[in-house]
Structure formats: structure tokens, C-alpha cells
Amino acid sequence: MTEEEKLAKKKAKAERKAKGEGLVAEFKKFITRGNVLDMSVGVIMGSAFNAIVTALTNILLSVATWAVPGGLKGLVTVLPAVNDAQRGAGFLVNGVTQHFQSFTTADVNQRVIEFAANQGVEGLTTESATFLQWKTSMLSLYTLHGTTYTYNMSAVIDWGTFINAIISFLIIALTLFIILKTFTTLKAKRKAFEEQLAAKLKKGDAEEEKPAEETPAA
């Protein structure tokens, strides 16, 4: 390797080192900037604020849906089945296999007995040793919405989640509007106060610099 090549290699190495040190310095400067710290505080405060908004939304929705069975979570619409996969599990009712896309919590025990009967298990009761196993097996095929179990493969319109999102948005928007309005008002008052104070100070300085009037000779 010639001397020129060695010098070129050292120069390139020095440039890479300087570039690396420059990137590290820029990164340190970036993470210590005030706006980054402010943003971090904002994210933390936003998370805490979100918990408050969620709690308030749940309270308002609980009051608004007081008469709805199962509360807001019970506001669902199960669409009619269009294929066998959406029909629901099979239950033996009066010797005939029926499919239920949904049923209420009040009918769970009866559905467990009918579900087991459709699988060939006769005489199952709530006192049977295997009742809980059959119940767990059946409920794994359904999802609880309020007081209604809906078949997992069914098409469901979850009105409760949609309404919850709308109300949460309105509460957040209203809260932010009040905060921004308050901040803007306080900022305007502060600016007006500073302008008045500056005007008074300027007036005082002008009076001090004004030459005293000469007293006329007697």
C-alpha cells in the first residue's frame, strides 16, 4: 500500500469518526431539547387524561342506557345467517336439532343441556359432574354482549362500541375546547396587562425626562 493510499484511508477513517461524533452530538442535542421534553410530558398527561375521559364516558353511558338490558354492551344487532357457518351451534330441542345465533344469560343452563344432548349426552343436569365442562365448551363458541351471547361466527353490528366512540370524541373535543378557550383568554388578558404596564412605564420615563419649566423673574 502506497503512502497516498494510507493517507487516503486515514482521512476517510477520520471523516467517518467525525461524522459519527457529529451524529451522536446531534442526537444528544435532540433529546435534550425543550420541545421534546414538553412533548413527553404531553404524552404522559394525555394518557392520564384519557383514563379520566374513559371513566366519565362510562358513567354517562351507564346513565343514558340505564333501561337497556346489559347496558351499552348489550346494544348489538345479530345479522341473519347467510351460510351454515353463521347459523350457530346445534341444540337438541324437543328431539329436533336447532341452531341459535344468540341467546340470553337466563337461558344458558338450558342451552348447555340441549347442547350436550345434541352431542349424544342424555340426562345432563346442572348437578351433573360434567355440566361445567359442557358449559365451558358451549360458551367458548359464543361472545357475551351485555346479557346476550352471540355466536362467534355470526355477523354482529356492535352499536355500543360505535356510540361509545362518538361520545368519547365529543367529550374530548369539548374538554379541549374549554382548555384552549381558557388559555386563549388568559393569554389575551396577560398581553393587555403587559401593554398597559409598558405604556405606564413609558409615560413615567417621559415625565422624568421632561425638563423642568423655568420660573419667571420677578
pLDDT digits (tens, 9 = 90+) for 73-87: 778 889 999 999 999
> Which pLDDT belongs to residue 167?
79
Q: What is the mean pLDDT of the chain?
A: 81
Pick the range with the lowest mean pLDDT from 98-102, 123-127, 175-179. Answer: 175-179
Statement: residue 31 has pLDDT above 80: no
pLDDT digits (tens, 9 = 90+) for 102-145: 999 999 999 999 999 999 999 999 999 999 999 999 999 999 98
Extents of the domains making up the chain: 3-64, 72-159
pLDDT category at 210 given cuts 50, 70, 90 is low
Q: Which residue has the higher pLDDT, 161 or 101?
A: 101
The answer to whether 69 touches 149, Cβ cutoff 8 Å, is no
The answer to whether 154 touches 80, Cβ cutoff 8 Å, is no
pLDDT category at 217 given cuts 50, 70, 90 is low
Question: What is the biggest distance separating any 2 CA atoms in the chain, rounded to whole angstroms?
Answer: 133
Which residues does 118 contact at the CB level (< 8 Å), separation at least 6?
90, 91, 92, 97
Q: How far are the Cα atoms of 72, 101, 145, 149 from residue 88, in angstroms, in the given order?
A: 24, 5, 16, 11
Dist. CA 45–CA 25, nearest whole Å = 29
> Which pLDDT belongs to residue 76?
86
Q: What is the pTM of this model?
A: 0.57
Pick the range with the lowest mean pLDDT from 9-13, 27-31, 154-158. Answer: 27-31
Q: Which residue has the higher pLDDT, 185 or 38?
A: 185
> Which pLDDT belongs to residue 176?
77
